[in-house]
C-alpha cells in the first residue's frame, strides 16, 4: 500500500474455480479490502465470502456496481467477460479479467477502448507472468544478457482432460502466449501465425498441435501443446546470440539455466559464397548459470500490481493490450487451423500502447 | 554368410568421412570380402585400404566396375551418387548408397528404376534404422503394442556446425525421416509437408526449423531440427492409443520408455455434442516399461542386411524406395520453405514396392 | 468401517505441528468419529477442533481419559509420549503414537508391555509406510520379485534446519529405519550398528552422518542423512539377486524403477580358487519396469489401519514393536557415535511378536 | 617440450590392458620419444610397438635398462611394480607406475625412498587427476571458492565384473582415493579409516562397501563402491562452508555444478545452550554455476606432466607420495574390514614431501 493511502476496495465476480483464489489473495493483501463476492448462485458466493470474514455475498451485478468498490475482478466464463467488464467500466470501476480477456478480439478491443476512454485500469490476469521465473527471464532479456533473440520454443504437454468446449490451443496456449508477450520487449507481434492440430481420437477438436510464429528479425517462435502426452513437460527455450536460456518449470532444483554457449558468425568477412559460412562460424562453450529465484506467490504479486497500476495511474504490466495481443494470435491460429496451416496475419493491433 | 556360400565381393567408392567406416565393417564381416577402395585421390584410397590388408586401392571407377566385384558401396558427395550408381547398376553391380540416396527425387527415381529393371539390389545406408533401439520401436509398432498411432514428435537439436552447402533440414532431418520411414508400417507417406525455418544469424540458409507432416488417419508428425541449441536432444515420442513410447537416445541407462498411459474416448456413446466428450474420456495410468536393448553395432547389421538382400533376391530393409520417400519429403520441405510454410505434397511415389 | 459397525471414537492429544493433520484425517474417515482435541493450551486445541465441527476442545488429559473415547492419538513432544500413553493404556484406550514411539527404548518397552497385557492396540505412526510406494516395495520383496536381498542404501539429504535438541540421526533416520523395518520380512534386525557423524560447523551435534548396519545373510544396509546438502535426495536402493529396485521419491514421473539386472554367481562349480570367480559370474541386462502407483494419502490409510487393527483385535502393521525396533537402532547408533564408530548391538528385542 | 630441449626417451613395460594406452600417448607427445615396448611375451610387445612406427619391441628388462632411455613407464600387474621399479631406479631411470603404486605400503615406501635418494622422478599414474573436471575441482578448493570443507561423498557404483584377485575396495576405491588426495590441499590424511564390506553372493571378497574417513577439522569423507548396482553412478559431492560442488561424471552436459547454498552458523553469539543453535542458523539459496570444461585427454596431460617434472627437477603432481598415501588408506581399510569395521589408523606417512 502506498504510504498514507487507504486500501482499495474490490469485489470478485464469479465464485467458481478461479474466483476463490483471487478472493483469498485480495483478502490477504495490504493493498486491498475485499468488499464482496458476487455470483449468480448466491450460495456459492457465500461459500467463498463467509470464511474470509466480513465479506459481503451477493448475486446482483447491478447492486455490486452501484456500491462503492473501486475495482472488480472477473472470474466468470470467457463469453461473459465482455458484458460484465463493459458494465463495470461504464460504472467507473477498474477491472481485472481472468484470461482470456474475452472470447473474441472484437469484444476485447471494445473493452480496451472503454477503459482507455474512461481512464480506468483494465488488467488481464496472466498469472504466470508474475512468477519469479518469468520475471527473471524478462529481466535477462531486457538487460541484453541473451543478446539478440534467435529462436523460442515453448512446450506444454501433459496427459490432460479433453475439454468439451475449447481445443488444446485455446486451453493451453494462452499460458505460453501470455508469457511470450510478457518477456518480449514490446510484446508479442508475430508476422503471421500457422497452426497445425491433430485430433487422432476423433473428438471434434484438436487435442495436440503446434503454432509457428515468425517474429521480427527472423526469430522463429514455436509453441507445442498436447493433451495426450504421457510425460509432462513445461519448458521454454530462448536462444540468443549471447546466451541461451532454458526454463524447466518442473525442475524445482534448477528451474532456469542460462548457457553461455552459442554460434558466432563473422560479420565483416570479405569472402563470399557458401564456403564463407563454415569458415567464419565459431563456437562458444562457456559456463552454465542457474540464477536463484525467490519464493513468492504469483497471485499475490499480481493483485499488488493491480493496485499499483490504479494508484500510479498507469497501465498494468499485463494490461488490456496484452490480453488483446494474446487473443489476436489465438484467433489467427484458429483461422489457420481451419485452412490447413495457411499462414494468417493476426488482426492489426495498432500502436503498442500502454507498455510500461 | 549363408551356409556353404562364398563371401560376396564389395568395393567402397569414396574414402572421405564415411567411407572408412563402411570399409572397416565390410572388412570384418563374414558375409563380405572387401576387394577394393576407390577414390579420385589415390593416396587417400591407400590410406583406407592398406591397413585392412590385401585390399586394392584404385582411382578409376571404370577399372573398378570392370572388375569382378559383386557390389559397390558409394560414400561420395551427394551430387555424385547418381552418376556413380547408374554406372554401377548398368555394369551389373548391386549398390549401397550413403544417405541421401541422391540430390534430387528425379535422379533417385532413375536409380530405383535402373535397379528394378536389372534385378539388382539398391540399398540406402539409413544407418540409424539398424540400431537396436529403432529395431525395437519398429517391432513394437508392428506388433500393435502401441495401438493406433496418434502423434509423432522427433527432435534433433544440438550446437552444430553451420554447413556451407545445405540447410539444417537436409543436414539433420534425413535421420529423422529415415527412422520414421522405417518404423511406420508401409513407410513414410505424409499427406503433405509444411516447413518453417529460421535463419536468425543471416547465414543464407535455415539453421533451425520444423517440419509438420499430417499422416493418414489424422496422425500428426512433427520434426524439429536445430544447429543453434546449447543443449543436445535426440528424442522421438510416438503416441499411441494403447501405449506411448519415448526414445531418448542420449540416455544410455533408459533409452526406450514405454508408457502404458493414455486417454480413452468412449466410442459407443449415444450422446452427442460437446458435453459428450469430457464425459467419456478416461485415463489410464499404468506401468512404465523400458525394454533391454542388445549391444550391437548398427553398421555391422547394415552390411549384413545388404548381403542378405542380395543372396535372398529381395529388397533390402532400407531399399531404394525408402531413400526415395525420404528425398521426396525433403524436396517438398524445400518447396514449402520457399513458399513461407505453404503445404506441399511430396511427389507421388507410386506403389510402395519392395517393402518386406 | 466394518459393515454394520459404528465408527470408533478417538481424541487427538497435542495440537502443535502434527496433531492437526491427524485430526483432519480422523475427522474425514468413515472409520472414526473425532470426539476431541486435547492440548495444555486450550486456545490451541480450539483452533484445531472448532473448524472441524462438533469436536470438543479440552486441556485436561484426565478428563479426556475418563470420557468414552475408544482411542487416543498422541502428537506431543517425544519425551511426553511415555506418560501420556501409559495413562491412556491403563484407562483402557487404544493408542496411536507419533514417531518416535518414546525417547528411550526402556520407556517404549514399558508401553509395548502395557498394551500387550491389556490387550490394547499400540500403534506407531510411521506415516511413510502407508505411502503407495512403500506398500509396493514391501509387496515386491514379500513376493520374491527381488530374490534374495543383497544390499540396501537409503539416502535422505537436504538443506535442513539444524535442530536445537536432536542430531541428524534422530531427526531424519527414523524415516529410513521405519521404512526398512516395514519392508524387511520380519522387520529390521541388524546384527550391529556403526554410526559416523560429522559436525563440521561446530553445532554440538551431528549434522550429517552414516549408519552401517549388517543384516542377517550378509546383507549390508547403509543409511545416509545430511542437513547440509545443497541438493535434495530421497532415494532407497534395494539390491536383490533377481532384481534391483530404486525408489526416487522426488521423481513423481517414475518413483519406482525395478531393474531386471544383476550378477549371477555359478553355485555348482567344481573349480576352486580365485580364478573360479570371474569365470562363473554372469550378467543379466533385462528390462526395467516402473509400476504405476495409486494416488492415495498415506495418513488416511494409516488411520484406517488403526481402526482395522482395533476391530480385528490384531497388531497394527506398524505396531509398538516396530517403533521399539526403530528406537533400539537409534539408541545403538548414539552409543556407536559416542564411541567413534564402534559397532554396537541393538538392545535385544525378544521374539518378534505381533508381525502380521 | 621445453624450448630447445630434445624429447625425452621412454619405454613402456607391459603390453597388456593399459600399456598400449600409455604407448600411444607417449608416441604422440612432443615431449617424448617412445623408444621401446617391453613385455615378457615378445609377440605382444610387437603388436603394440609395430604399428607405432620405429619403436623397438623387446622382452628383456635388463636389456631395456641398459639402453639409453631416460624413463620407463610400468603397466604390469601390481605385484611386479616393486621389483621392476627398483631395478629401473637403480639403473638411473625416471619411473612412472600404473596405479596402485605397489601391492604393499612397505614396497611403495622403498620405491619412494629409492627415487628420493637418486634424485629421480617417481610418478604414479593417477589418470583421473588429469581430467579437466578434477583439475577444476582442485583449483576451486585451492582458491577458497568452496570455503572450509565440511564433508565429502564419493560414489562409484556399477554393474561390474567381480574380480578374481581383489575386492571392490582395491578395484574401485583407488580412483576415489587418488582424486581426494589430489584435490585436498596437502593430500589425503584421514585420522583413521573404517571399512564396511558386503559379500552377499558369497564370492569370498567384498563386492560392495563403504569407507568412512574422518579428516582433520571434523570433515567426514565417505567413499561408496559397489560392483552389484544396476545403475551406474560416478559422483563426488564436496560440501563447503561457502559453496557445495557436485561432480557428476556421467552427465556430459553439466559435469560440475557449484551451488552457492549453505548453512551459516552465527559464530559470535553470546547465548548458549541448545536453543542458541536454531536461532543462529541461516540459509543461503544462491545461484548455481556450472563451469565450462575444456576437452582434453587426461592421459596426454599426464605424460606431459611426467616430462615437465623430469625437466623441472621437481616432484610430479601425482608423485610417489601420492601413491603411497592411497596405498596406506587401502591397507588400513583392509585391516578394518578384517576387524568388522574397527577404526584403523593409516600407517604413518611422515612429512608430506614433494607436494608442489
D119 CB within 8 Å of a chain B CB:
no
A313 — alpha (psi -120 to 50), left (phi > 0) or beta? left
Q: Answer yes or no: is C223 within a domain.
A: yes
C291 CB within 8 Å of a chain B CB:
yes
Across C276-283, average pLDDT: 57
Say which of B254, B287, B292 has its CB closest to residue C292.
B287
pLDDT band, very low/low/confident/very high, at D346 (cuts 50, 70, 90): very high
Q: Answer yes or no: is B343 within a domain.
A: no
At B280 the pLDDT is 59
B291 CB within 8 Å of a chain A CB:
no
Say which of C254, C285, C292 has its CB closest to residue B292.
C285
Q: Which of D225, D205, D199, D231 is nearest to C244 (CA)?
A: D231
- Which H, E and C letters describe chain C, residue by residue? CCCCCCCEEEEEECCCCCHHHHHHHHHCCCCEEEEEEECCCHHHHHHHHHHHCCCEEECCHHHHHCCCCCEEEECCCHHHHHHHHHHHHHCCCEEEEECCCCCCHHHHHHHHHHHHHCCCCEEEECHHHHCHHHHHHHHHHHCCCCCCEEEEEEEEEEECCCCCCCCHHHHHHHHHHHHHHHHCCCCCCCCCEEEEEECCCCCCCCCEEEEEEEEHHHEEEEEEEECEEEEEEEEEEEEECCCEEEEECCCCCCCEEEEEEEEEECCCCCCCCHHHHHHHEEEEEEEEEECCCCCCCHHHHHHHHHHHHHHHCCCCCCEHHHHHHHHHHHHHHHHHHHCCCCCECCCCCCCCCCCC
* D135: enclosing H helix or E strand: helix D132-142
Q: Do B199 and A219 touch (CB under 8 A)?
A: no
Number of domains chain B contains: 2
Q: Do B287 and C288 touch (CB under 8 A)?
A: no
pLDDT band, very low/low/confident/very high, at C27 (cuts 50, 70, 90): very high
A283 CB within 8 Å of a chain B CB:
yes
B14 — alpha (psi -120 to 50), left (phi > 0) or beta? left
- The C-alpha atoms of residue C96 and residue C74 are separated, in whole angstroms, by 6
At C355 the pLDDT is 39
* A321: enclosing H helix or E strand: helix A320-338
Say which of D288, D291, D292 has its CB closest to residue A290.
D288
Say which of B285, B286, B290 has its CB closest to residue C288.
B290
At D230 the pLDDT is 86
3-state secondary structure of B346: coil
In tens, the pLDDT along B21-66 reads: 999 999 999 999 999 999 999 999 999 998 888 899 999 999 999 9
- Cell digits for D52? 607405432
Same domain, C58 and C145: no
How much of chain D exceeds pLDDT 90, in percent?
80
Q: Which of C232, C233, C195, C236 is nearest to C336 (CA)?
A: C195
Same domain, B14 and B97: yes
Say which of C163, C226, C285 has its CB closest to residue D278.
C163
In the block, residue with C-alpha cell 605385484: D79
C292 CB within 8 Å of a chain A CB:
no
Count of CB contacts below 8 A, A vs B?
A: 189
A351 CB within 8 Å of a chain B CB:
no
For residue D41, pLDDT beyond 70: yes
DSSP letter for A277, please. H
- The C-alpha atoms of residue B17 and residue B47 are separated, in whole angstroms, by 12
Q: Do D287 and A292 touch (CB under 8 A)?
A: yes
A251 CB within 8 Å of a chain D CB:
no
C210 CB within 8 Å of a chain D CB:
yes
Average pLDDT of chain B to the nearest whole number:
91
Average pLDDT of chain C to the nearest whole number:
91
Task: Name chain A's partners: 3 or more CB pairs within 8 A.
Answer: B, C, D
In tens, the pLDDT along D231-289 reads: 899 999 999 999 999 999 998 889 999 999 877 765 444 444 444 444 456 777 889 99
pLDDT along chain A (356 residues), means of 10: 74 96 96 98 95 92 97 96 98 97 96 97 97 97 96 93 86 97 96 96 94 96 94 94 94 91 61 46 83 93 98 97 97 95 80 40
Q: Answer yes or no: is D335 within a domain.
A: no
Say which of A231, A232, A253 has its CB closest to residue C232.
A253
Same domain, A119 and A137: no
Q: Answer yes or no: is C326 within a domain.
A: no
Q: What CATH number has the domain bearing residue C172?
A: 3.30.360.10
At D4 the pLDDT is 47
B208 neighbourhood in chain A, CB within 8 Å: 150-151, 220, 239
3-state secondary structure of B344: strand
Q: Which of A257, A288, A293, A295 to mutate to test the interface with D (most CBs of D within 10 A)?
A: A288
In tens, the pLDDT along C156-179 reads: 999 887 777 899 999 999 999 999
Domain limits for position C112: 8-127+299-320
For residue C253, pLDDT beyond 60: yes
- The C-alpha atoms of residue A102 and residue C206 are separated, in whole angstroms, by 59
At B101 the pLDDT is 96
Q: Answer yes or no: is D346 within a domain.
A: no
DSSP letter for A100, please. S
Same domain, A96 and A239: no
Distance from CA of A184 to the nearest CA of B (A): 16
Count of CB contacts below 8 A, A vs C?
A: 4
Same domain, B124 and B141: no
B252 CB within 8 Å of a chain C CB:
no
Same domain, B135 and B275: yes
Q: Answer yes or no: is C163 within a domain.
A: yes
Q: Answer yes or no: is C347 within a domain.
A: no
More confident: B279 or C219: C219
Domain C-terminal end among C273, C291, C309: C291
For residue B352, pLDDT beyond 70: no
Same domain, A228 and A89: no
Q: What CATH number has the domain bearing residue B15?
A: 3.40.50.720
A253 CB within 8 Å of a chain C CB:
yes
Among all residues of chain B, which has the CA nearest to that of C260?
B292
In tens, the pLDDT along C49-98 reads: 998 888 999 999 999 999 999 999 999 999 999 999 999 999 999 999 99
Task: Name chain B's partners: 3 or more CB pairs within 8 A.
Answer: A, C, D
In tens, the pLDDT along B98-127 reads: 999 999 999 999 999 999 999 999 999 999
A232 CB within 8 Å of a chain C CB:
yes
In tens, the pLDDT along D278-324 reads: 445 677 788 999 999 998 899 999 999 999 999 999 999 999 999 99
Q: Answer yes or no: is C133 within a domain.
A: yes
In tens, the pLDDT along C114-138 reads: 999 999 999 999 999 999 999 999 9
Same domain, D113 and D160: no
Across C313-320, average pLDDT: 97
Distance from CA of B96 to the nearest CA of A (A): 29
At A219 the pLDDT is 96
Q: How many residues are recorded in chain A? A: 356
pTM over 0.95: no
Main-chain dihedrals φ then ψ at residue D107, nearest 5 degrees? -65, -45
At D350 the pLDDT is 46
pLDDT band, very low/low/confident/very high, at B142 (cuts 50, 70, 90): very high
Q: Which of A260, A287, A296 to mutate to test the interface with D (most CBs of D within 10 A)?
A: A287
- The C-alpha atoms of residue A237 and residue A69 are separated, in whole angstroms, by 42
Our measurement of the distance from residue C238's CA atom to the centroid of its chain's CA atoms, rounded to an integer in Å, reads: 17
In tens, the pLDDT along D101-152 reads: 999 999 999 999 999 999 999 999 999 999 999 999 999 999 999 999 999 9
Q: Which of A155, A211, A167 is nearest to A188 (CA)?
A: A211
- The C-alpha atoms of residue C185 and residue C332 are separated, in whole angstroms, by 21
Q: How many residues are recorded in chain C? A: 356
Same domain, C263 and C246: yes
Between A16-20, C7-11, C230-234, the lowest mean confidence (pLDDT) is in: C230-234
Q: Please give the C-alpha separations between residue A236 and each of A151, A215, A249, B64, C107, in angstroms, as whole numbers.
A: 11, 16, 8, 54, 56
Between C306-320, C325-339, D207-221, D335-349, the lowest mean confidence (pLDDT) is in: D335-349
Same domain, B149 and B279: yes
Q: What is the complex's ipTM, to 2 decimals?
A: 0.89
For residue B272, pLDDT beyond 80: no
At C164 the pLDDT is 78
Half-sphere exposure of D67 (CA within 13 A, CB side): 20
DSSP output for A33-70: EEEEEE-SSHHHHHHHHGGGSS-EEE--HHHHHTSS-S
Same domain, B54 and B154: no
Say which of C260, C286, C291 has its CB closest to residue B287.
C291
How much of chain C exceeds pLDDT 70, in percent?
92
B263 neighbourhood in chain A, CB within 8 Å: 159, 162, 201, 207, 227-228
D161 CB within 8 Å of a chain A CB:
no
Distance from CA of D165 to the nearest CA of C (A): 6
At C348 the pLDDT is 61
- The C-alpha atoms of residue A8 and residue A14 are separated, in whole angstroms, by 19
Q: Do B290 and C286 touch (CB under 8 A)?
A: no
For residue D325, pLDDT beyond 90: yes
C196 — alpha (psi -120 to 50), left (phi > 0) or beta? beta
Same domain, D285 and D315: no
Amino acid at each position: 500500500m502506498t504510504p498514507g493511502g487507504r486500501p482499495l476496495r474490490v469485489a470478485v465476480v464469479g465464485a467458481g474455480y478461479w474466483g476463490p483464489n483471487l478472493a483469498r489473495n485480495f483478502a490477504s493483501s495490504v493493498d486491498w479490502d475485499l468488499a464482496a463476492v458476487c455470483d449468480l448462485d448466491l450460495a456459492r458466493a457465500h461459500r467463498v465470502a463467509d470464511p474470509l470474514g466480513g465479506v459481503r455475498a451477493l448475486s446482483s451485478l447491478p447492486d455490486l456496481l452501484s456500491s462503492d468498490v473501486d475495482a472488480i475482478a472477473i472470474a466468470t466464463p470467457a463469453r461473459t467477460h465482455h458484458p460484465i467488464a463493459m458494465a463495470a467500466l461504464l460504472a467507473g470501476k477498474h477491472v481485472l479479467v481472468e484470461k482470456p480477456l474475452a472470447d473474441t478480439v472484437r469484444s476485447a478491443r471494445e473493452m480496451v477502448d472503454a477503459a482507455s476512454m474512461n481512464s480506468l485500469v483494465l488488467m488481464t490476469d496472466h498469472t504466470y507472468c508474475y512468477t519469479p521465473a518469468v520475471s527473471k527471464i524478462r529481466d535477462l532479456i531486457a538487460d541484453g544478457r541473451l543478446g539478440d533473440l534467435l529462436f523460442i520454443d515453448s512446450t506444454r504437454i501433459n496427459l490432460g482432460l479433453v475439454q468439451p468446449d475449447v481445443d488444446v490451443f485455446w486451453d493451453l496456449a494462452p499460458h505460453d502466449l501470455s508469457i511470450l508477450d510478457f518477456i518480449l520487449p514490446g510484446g508479442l507481434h508475430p508476422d503471421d501465425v500457422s497452426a497445425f492440430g491433430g485430433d487422432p481420437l476423433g473428438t471434434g477438436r484438436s487435442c495436440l498441435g503446434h503454432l509457428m510464429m515468425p517474429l521480427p528479425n527472423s526469430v522463429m517462435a514455436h509453441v507445442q501443446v498436447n493433451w495426450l502426452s504421457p510425460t509432462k513437460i513445461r519448458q521454454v527455450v530462448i536462444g540468443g546470440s549471447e546466451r541461451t536460456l532454458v526454463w524447466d518449470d518442473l525442475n524445482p532444483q534448477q528451474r532456469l539455466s542460462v548457457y553461455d554457449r552459442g554460434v558466432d558468425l563473422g560479420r565483416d568477412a570479405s569472402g563470399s559464397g557458401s564456403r564463407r559460412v563454415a569458415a567464419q562460424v565459431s563456437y562458444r562453450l562457456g559456463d552454465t548459470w542457474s540464477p536463484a529465484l525467490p519464493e513468492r506467490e504469483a497471485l499475490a504479486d499480481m493483485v499488488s500490481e493491480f493496485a499499483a497500476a490504479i494508484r500510479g495511474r498507469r497501465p498494468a504490466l499485463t494490461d488490456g493490450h496484452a490480453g488483446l495481443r494474446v487473443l489476436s494470435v489465438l484467433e489467427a491460429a484458429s483461422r489457420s487451423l481451419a485452412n490447413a496451416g495457411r499462414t494468417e496475419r493476426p488482426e492489426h493491433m495498432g500502436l503498442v500502447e500502454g507498455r510500461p
